[in-house]
């Protein structure tokens, strides 16, 4: 059994989470999980974590734990690696200071899983191109978290001491690093650095996307699948600081599960509205999104659009299929009879769209942990379709490029065994001097090709507008 010491204390900082991240990222590798759009009871905390002690990443040669530029461990199976690093729900945690209610992350791992990690679990044909090549999974180990509670406007700091044989920390010099972080977090917020995105280039044209919708409808009619999530990518040449892109995205499209990660070779700016999985104790929650309509230009039009989505049989059927898929996935690791759907077809407003969201919950078996939950549910069902394996195989045959981090997850693995992950949508991945955005739609039997294309445009409106604004010459 692992044993940890966690110190938690209230602190005073002059800035909010985003500005604090802006001050700290100049001095080391930090990550931000931000409740940029506060959702009571669901998204009330933001976390600035770092500086990183180690990184865990998966490439074609396996999964590597690196510390001080040296490989400390290697796994052939990425989910075995996750099992090794994920916190133990039965760990002995000695806490100095009261843990505020809802503060789910005190230290552990913060990072991202790519959609294509599914290849470690399922056989998929190799057709789509991995372009550019990115890690299938990337995490950084953090023993210090600055946590901001939005409803109260208060900051808390947690620091973790753990067994070095199990966790890549417990350096003698860390207290000095922690104190340095607090000092630097009080510095003046630096001005935003410039960035520029060129005109967007479609990597799948409208005709090809609509042909894909038609093909999926034919396969549904033949009884092969019930639903397939079809996506398309757009690229823009990128220069400058990806953090400034994230700041612009938050001004245009704040979201409950926003995040910013940066590593050697890539950065992710995410404005995700969707929770994939949350594990707190043995309680599991998933909130799949399926069903979208654009916001109206007037209050009357907006309410009419909302009412249309609420009554849409197509969108309700699409949502229900993914709810059933999630119930099935969770059932593999849940206590018998614990899987429930307390909320079905709820409607949530965002900057550019109304979304239909359902909640699925369960109780995790006593012999299972975060890594087992991920193995049972990966990848997010809202981004595949149903049945999951057949839908993924069809996606591989229709999408010319691998999805990379898009349709994957960003979040944390807490050292006490908890986990909270978003779905990577409404996000830009910056790599290879490009900003890449991906947009999709769930295709069902009565989908209309033109309408599904329009849905992808509506979903990405605020994200692409941020890129397009940067593509305009200065006035």
Catalytic residue numbers read 274, 290
Measured distance CA(467)–CA(253) in Å, rounded: 12
- Which residue has 């409607």 as its token pair? 347
> Which residue, 463, 428, 399, is CA-closest to 116?
399
- 3-class DSSP state for residue 161? strand
- 3-class DSSP state for residue 344? strand
- Which residue has 């907006």 as its token pair? 302
Beta bridge pairs of residue 435: 236, 430
Measured distance CA(197)–CA(237) in Å, rounded: 6
Beta bridge pairs of residue 259: 33, 270
Cis preceding-peptide flag for 379 (omega within 30 of 0)? yes
Buried b (16+ CB within 10 A) or exposed e, 107-130: bbbbbbbbbbbbbbbeebeeebee
Q: How many Cα atoms are found within 13 Å in the side-chain-facing hemisphere of 320?
A: 6
- 3-class DSSP state for residue 105? coil
Beta bridge pairs of residue 432: none
Distances (CA, A) of 336 to 90, 360, 429, 458, 461: 21, 15, 39, 40, 42
């Amino acid at each position: 059994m692992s044993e940890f010491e966690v110190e938690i204390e209230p602190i005073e900082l002059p800035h909010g989470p985003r500005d604090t991240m802006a001050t700290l990222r100049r001095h080391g590798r930090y990550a931000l999980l931000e409740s940029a759009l506060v959702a009571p009871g669901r998204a009330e905390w933001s976390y600035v974590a770092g500086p990183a002690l180690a990184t865990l990443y998966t490439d074609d040669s396996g999964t590597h734990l690196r510390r001080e530029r040296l490989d400390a461990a290697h796994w052939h199976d990425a989910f075995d690696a996750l099992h090794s690093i994920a916190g133990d729900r039965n760990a002995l945690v000695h806490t100095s200071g009261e843990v505020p209610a809802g503060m789910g992350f005190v230290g552990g791992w913060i990072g991202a899983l790519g959609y294509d990690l599914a290849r470690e679990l399922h056989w998929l044909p190799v057709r789509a191109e991995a372009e550019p090549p990115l890690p299938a999974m990337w995490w950084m180990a953090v023993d210090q978290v600055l946590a901001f509670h939005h409803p109260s406007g208060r900051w808390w700091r947690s620091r973790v001491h753990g067994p070095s044989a199990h966790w890549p920390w417990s350096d003698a010099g860390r207290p000095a690093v922690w104190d340095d972080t607090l000092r630097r977090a009080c510095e003046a917020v630096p001005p935003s650095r410039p960035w520029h995105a060129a005109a967007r280039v479609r990597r799948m044209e409208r005709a090809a996307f609509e042909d894909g919708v038609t093909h999926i409808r034919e396969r549904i009619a033949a009884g092969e699948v019930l639903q397939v999530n079809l996506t398309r990518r757009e690229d823009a040449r990128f220069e400058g600081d990806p953090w400034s892109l994230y700041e612009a995205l938050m001004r245009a499209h704040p979201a409950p599960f926003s995040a910013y990660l940066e590593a050697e070779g890539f950065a992710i700016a995410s404005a995700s509205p969707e929770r994939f999985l949350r594990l707190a104790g043995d309680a599991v929650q998933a909130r799949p999104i399926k069903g979208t309509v654009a916001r109206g230009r007037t209050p009357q039009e907006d309410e009419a659009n909302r009412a249309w989505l609420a009554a849409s049989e197509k969108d309700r059927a699409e949502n229900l299929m993914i709810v059933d898929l999630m119930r099935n996935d969770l059932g593999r690791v849940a206590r018998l009879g614990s899987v429930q759907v307390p909320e079905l077809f709820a409607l949530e407003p965002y900057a550019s769209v109304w979304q239909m969201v359902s909640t699925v919950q369960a109780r995790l078996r006593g012999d299972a942990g975060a890594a087992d939950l991920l193995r049972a549910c990966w990848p997010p069902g809202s981004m595949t379709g149903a049945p999951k394996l057949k839908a993924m195989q069809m996606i591989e045959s229709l999408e010319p490029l691998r999805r990379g981090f898009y349709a994957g997850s960003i979040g944390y693995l807490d050292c006490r065994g908890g986990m909270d992950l978003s779905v990577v949508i409404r996000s830009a991945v910056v790599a290879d001097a490009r900003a890449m955005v991906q947009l999709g739609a769930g295709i069902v039997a009565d989908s209309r090709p033109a309408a599904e294309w329009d849905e992808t445009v509506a979903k990405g409106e605020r994200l692409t507008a941020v890129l397009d604004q940067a593509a305009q010459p200065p006035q």
